[in-house]
Amino acid sequence: MKNLFTSAFLLISFFSFAQNQNKETGETFIKLLLQEKNYEKAYAFFDESVKSKISEELLKTTEQQLAIQLGKFNNIIEINNENSTYFYYADFEKMKLDIKITLNEANKILGFFFAPHKEFNIKNLLGNDLNIKSNNINLKGTILIPGKNNLKKLVIFVHGSGPQDRDETIYENKPFKDIAENLYLKGIASYRFDKRTLTNPESFNDKSTIDDEVTNDVVNIISYFKENEQFKNYEIILLGHSLGANLMPRIAGKSAQISKLILLAGNARPLEKLIEEQYDYLYKLNPSLELQEAIKKVTAQIAVLTSKSFNENTPKEQLPFNLSGYYWKSVMDYNPLKEVKNVKIPILILQGERDYQVTMVDFELWKSTLKNNKKASFISYPSLNHLFMSGENTSEPKEYMVKGNVDEMVINDIFNFIEKN
């Protein structure tokens, strides 16, 4: 199922896509948006199917938030491609990263996505590709199966919000890859996949819900493994982070084939509450006129969202992150604290105490709700942030730009919970 960087990341994420066919068009678009700040001309580069999901104002807001977080855009250092996907290695004042651009055959943009720089000609040493059919698409993923000391336990990873890749990449950090590869070395198999909102954005429309984004795909993945003779005797464990953790009770209610649930930084409170809280937190860290205007805008959108007049047909332009009324209604109709009471399998809930996106308030709500559940375990970590990476003092957005790894304590606690019968 995200801080100033996170808010910008979410904003970009909800209309981000993959696959590019023409590097010159993408390069021109980037310069128009980030260098010349010509939002009208940049907007004209989008395909009509995408224009209904974004606006010139949204492009302007995105560019302004990126400028706050990354500093001035300087230039494109190099352009690489992998099949039909183009990676524009971009130099900003504070850091360098890749901009991925997607065009259709008419050279109209289907979207763009910011990601850590990808080194080419470097092969992953671990894992095999495995595509799993889910409704109308093939989900692309990586499976790790230990050759020796295989404990016959399979972890399926469930991402946070936005078009996340299989590693849940944020800048140079890859928390899902960290966890999966460490568990592999301890005899635990795993499957992690790219979300459909990343690889197949056309399958997500204005009537799509949280189940269309996450739940249904995870249930289909579980069924695939349970129906596959090779994994017949494996225990299935779900590990969700952020939104993925929030949805664990919902997914468990739709599949009786899950043995255990692991929730990492799952919000127990409504998403709109967290959005307001994160903006306030960031403003206190670094007050600015731009952020003040962003707070004013999102406050008005949340007021519409929580009003009595809100319904599925409320214009998405009036709602947070330009997401449709159908999507927001599905999010607001779901109560994780209510549904988790129906979960009968073991649950492990982990929380970083320095996390400001999902906080100890949420952790304590899970604890109080499950206080009489003997199968529920809770661990918090004083020095860890939202990515379960260690740091000091107050957590802030720039912390995510620093390469790190999921803390060893977290890996060990997850392994011990999985191994325990």
Using left for φ > 0, alpha for ψ between -120 and 50, and beta otherwise, residue 406 falls in beta
Cβ–Cβ < 8 Å for 180, 155: yes
- Of 389, 419, 396, the residue nearest 179 (C-alpha): 389
Report H helices in 247-310: 248-252, 271-285, 289-305
Strands 260-264 and 347-352: parallel
Token pair of 163, please? 């078009």
Burial bucket for residue 25 (CB in 10 Å: 0-12, 13-18, 19+): middle
Q: Which pTM value belongs to this model?
A: 0.73
Cβ–Cβ < 8 Å for 252, 238: yes
- Of 92, 100, 110, the residue nearest 34 (C-alpha): 92
More confident residue, 393 or 338: 338
State the chain's mean pLDDT as an integer: 88
- pLDDT surpassing 80 at residue 26: yes
Packing angle between helix 56-70 and helix 289-305, nearest 10 degrees? 130
Token pair of 280, please? 């306030």
DSSP 380-420: EETTB-TTS-B--SS--GGGGGS-----HHHHHHHHHHHH-
Tell me phi and psi for residue 32, to 5 degrees.
-65, -45
- pLDDT surpassing 80 at residue 121: no
Residues of the chain with CATH 3.40.50.1820: 128-270+333-419
Q: Can you name the residues that pair with 281 across neighbouring β-strands?
A: none
Cβ–Cβ < 8 Å for 109, 102: yes
- pLDDT surpassing 70 at residue 286: yes
Q: Can you name the residues that pair with 88 across neighbouring β-strands?
A: 79, 99
pLDDT score recorded for residue 101: 82
The answer for residues whose C-beta is within 8 angstroms of residue 334's C-beta and 6 or more apart is: 210, 247, 250
- Digit-coded pLDDT (tens) for 131-150: 999 998 999 999 999 887 89
pLDDT score recorded for residue 119: 62
Token pair of 375, please? 């199968």
pLDDT score recorded for residue 362: 98
Q: Can you name the residues that pair with 267 across neighbouring β-strands?
A: none
The answer for residues whose C-beta is within 8 angstroms of residue 305's C-beta and 6 or more apart is: 272, 314, 319, 320, 328, 332
Using left for φ > 0, alpha for ψ between -120 and 50, and beta otherwise, residue 123 falls in beta
The answer for residues whose C-beta is within 8 angstroms of residue 414's C-beta and 6 or more apart is: 179, 183, 239, 262, 348, 350
- Digit-coded pLDDT (tens) for 73-84: 988 877 776 545
Handedness of CA 325, 160, 375, 344 (dihedral sign): positive
Tell me phi and psi for residue 83, to 5 degrees.
60, -120
Q: How far apart are CA 210 and CA 206, in angstroms?
A: 12
- Digit-coded pLDDT (tens) for 342-382: 999 999 999 999 999 999 999 999 999 999 999 999 999 99
Token pair of 271, please? 């998403």
pLDDT band at 11 (very low <50, low <70, confident <90, very high): very low
Taking residues 40-67, what's their average pLDDT? 88
pLDDT band at 17 (very low <50, low <70, confident <90, very high): very low
Report H helices in 52-174: 56-70
Taking residues 264-286, what's their average pLDDT? 93
In one-letter notation, the amino acid at residue 250 is: R
Q: How far apart are CA 412 and CA 183, in angstroms?
A: 9
Residues of the chain with CATH 3.10.450: 4-115
Taking residues 392-417, what's their average pLDDT? 92
Q: How far apart are CA 314 and CA 199, in angstroms?
A: 27
Domain 128-270+333-419 coded CATH 3.40.50.1820 = yes
pLDDT score recorded for residue 67: 87
- Digit-coded pLDDT (tens) for 380-402: 999 999 999 999 988 988 898 88
Q: What is the CATH number of domain 4-115?
A: 3.10.450
Could you say which DSSP state residue 229 is in?
G
Using left for φ > 0, alpha for ψ between -120 and 50, and beta otherwise, residue 149 falls in left
More confident residue, 171 or 119: 171
pLDDT score recorded for residue 126: 53
- pLDDT surpassing 50 at residue 256: yes
- pLDDT surpassing 90 at residue 111: no
How distant, in Å, are the alpha carbons of 44, 92, 157, 339 from that of 66? 20, 10, 29, 37
